[in-house]
Amino acid sequence: MAQDEIRDQRIKKLEILKNRNIEPYGRRYEKTKIEDIGEQGEVKTAGRIIALRKHGGACFADIIDTEGKIQLYFKKNIIGDELYEIFKEIDIGDIVGVEGEIFKTKTGEKTIFVKNFKVLSKSLNPLPEKWHGLKDIEIRFRKRYLDLLINKEVREKFIKRTKIIQFIREYLNSNGFIEVETPMMHPIPGGAEAKPFITYHNTLEMNLYLRIAPELYLKRLLVGNFEKIYEINRSFRNEGISTLHNPEFTMLELYSAYGDYEEMMEITEKLLTNLVNFLYKSSNITYQGKEINFSLPWSKITYEDVFKKVGIDNWHDINSVKEKIKEFNLEVEEEKENNLFELLDLIFSKKIQPQFINPTFIIDYPEEISPLAKSKKDKEEITERFELFIGGLEVANAYSELNDPVEQLKRFQEKAKGDEEKIDFDYIEALEYGMPPAGGLGIGIDRLVMLLTDSPSIREVIFFPLLRPKK
């Protein structure tokens, strides 16, 4: 039967219920979670019907809630003619509340012998035909509510995401950090190199930018005498969509006054090893068929030595880098073919990054691509910065934060290339009041959840990933 026909039939059943003065969309219902139902006694619970087996004057049904499933047994001479007639209008997908007594069937299945029930929500659309799973990826992402309803493993993945975020909060809180909130709309985009989303404020008659990163506002709080802070919230980047990128994503950013990037390494190691042990009671996980060991110590390699691994002895030499591009047969976008760091990033992402399976810190990045990081004492062109890679994914980025207002303004000006409107002078002024030396760390929550739930795409761990409208 076509879906439209089924829907028409269910609308008729809806009208039948209304004509019998039955409210098909119920109200508050006190229930016991299905997983908490004991082996005997009276019980009151509710859930969605996922299976119906009618046999004359009796009927079996299965209902589910978030984590549990239980069988129901309806008998006409127990619930009475009136309720049984109402039950005839019930379909798979409907949500019902039931009261009854627990017993076990001959096969040992825990079952509720229903004595009373209520319709709590009449489903007009049928559930996908095969209860064993909604498989179409396009439908799964566009209709996430069906994906969650049908695929228990998807629900479990998002429950794990919640547990990951809760653990991070509790860990940081217990280590002296406090959670803060900073603006989502910025008058000047900053904190990272990315194209922003632009909006317009009517009253102020000005453009605002959805934040690329919270960094510059969080560091203003360091100036304001907050020493250990973190924020878990959304950032937005008007760039490509892929298995690793969504325009709206969740970030953890934290800052520790009087620290540096070495402290950030220690925090990262402790946070993630404890998190993995909390989730799996082990230091080992599997991601996309690759075994990952979180045991300490984690590997470290400099940015310079990374490229030596693929035969680039002098990464400053753009000609030798271009030769490697040709050797690796990598395609370069025309506007990037003379940009040294774009070429290096291409080689890194295609030929080097996939090799970093166990947690690996790449340290000491060039100043040109680290405008907010403090330079090393002995090498001013190199900064105290690391990126963390696990399972071939970039998971974290951290600096010893640049707190010299004169140097910071100089770097901003070099990046702005004469466009002074791109410079956040208020941030520079804040630095001029004095920001303590500090370490800062950013962790992409979505990618971390990908890693810890063995998910191949970022869309698998975001409830509602951005998709092109369906035509």
The residue assigned the tokens 């004595």 is 115
CATH number of 421's domain: 3.30.930.10
**How far is residue 362's CA from residue 17's CA, in Å, rounded to a whole number?**
65
Strand partners, 284: 293
Domain count, the chain: 2
- The answer for residues whose C-beta is within 8 angstroms of residue 435's C-beta and 6 or more apart is 219, 222, 223, 401, 403
**How far is residue 351's CA from residue 91's CA, in Å, rounded to a whole number?**
54
The residue among 127, 160, 191 that closes a domain is: 127
**How far is residue 280's CA from residue 288's CA, in Å, rounded to a whole number?**
16
Please indicate, yes or no, whether residues 123 and 199 belong to a single structural domain of this protein: no
The answer as to whether 353 is a domain residue is no
Please indicate, yes or no, whether residues 93 and 194 belong to a single structural domain of this protein: no
Domain hosting 413: range is: 149-298+358-461
Beta carbons of 59 and 52 less than 8 angstroms apart? yes
**How far is residue 77's CA from residue 9's CA, in Å, rounded to a whole number?**
27
**Structure tokens that stand for 115 in this block:** 């004595």
Q: How many Cβ atoms are within 10 Å of 305's Cβ, its own excluded?
A: 12
**Structure tokens that stand for 417 in this block:** 């290339």
Beta carbons of 79 and 117 less than 8 angstroms apart? yes
Please indicate, yes or no, whether residues 157 and 76 belong to a single structural domain of this protein: no
Please indicate, yes or no, whether residues 159 and 103 belong to a single structural domain of this protein: no
**How far is residue 97's CA from residue 468's CA, in Å, rounded to a whole number?**
38
Helix (H, G, I), strand (E, B) or coil at 400: strand
Would you write out the chain's pLDDT as a tens digit for each of its 471 residues? Answer: 688 899 999 999 999 999 999 999 999 999 999 999 999 999 999 999 999 988 878 899 999 999 899 999 999 989 988 898 898 899 999 999 999 999 999 999 999 999 999 999 999 998 886 544 566 788 889 999 999 988 889 999 999 999 999 999 999 999 999 999 999 999 999 888 889 999 999 999 999 999 999 999 999 999 999 999 999 999 999 998 899 999 999 999 999 999 999 999 999 999 999 999 999 999 999 999 999 999 999 999 999 999 998 999 999 999 999 999 999 999 998 888 899 999 999 999 999 999 999 999 999 999 999 999 999 998 889 999 999 999 999 999 999 999 999 999 999 998 888 888 889 999 999 999 999 999 999 999 999 999 999 999 999 999 999 998 887
Q: How many Cβ atoms are within 10 Å of 197's Cβ, its own excluded?
A: 16
CATH number of 14's domain: 2.40.50.140
pTM of the predicted model as reported, rounded to 2 decimal places? 0.91
**How far is residue 34's CA from residue 38's CA, in Å, rounded to a whole number?**
9
Is omega for the bond preceding 297 within 30 degrees of 0, making it cis? yes
- The answer for residues whose C-beta is within 8 angstroms of residue 176's C-beta and 6 or more apart is 228
Beta carbons of 154 and 145 less than 8 angstroms apart? no
Encoded amino acid at 119, one letter: V
Find the farthest-apart pair of alpha carbons in the chain and give their distance in angstroms, rounded: 88
Please indicate, yes or no, whether residues 78 and 16 belong to a single structural domain of this protein: yes
Please indicate, yes or no, whether residues 377 and 277 belong to a single structural domain of this protein: yes
H helix or E strand, kind and range, residue 91:
none
**How far is residue 265's CA from residue 277's CA, in Å, rounded to a whole number?**
18
225: left (phi over 0), alpha (psi -120 to 50) or beta: left
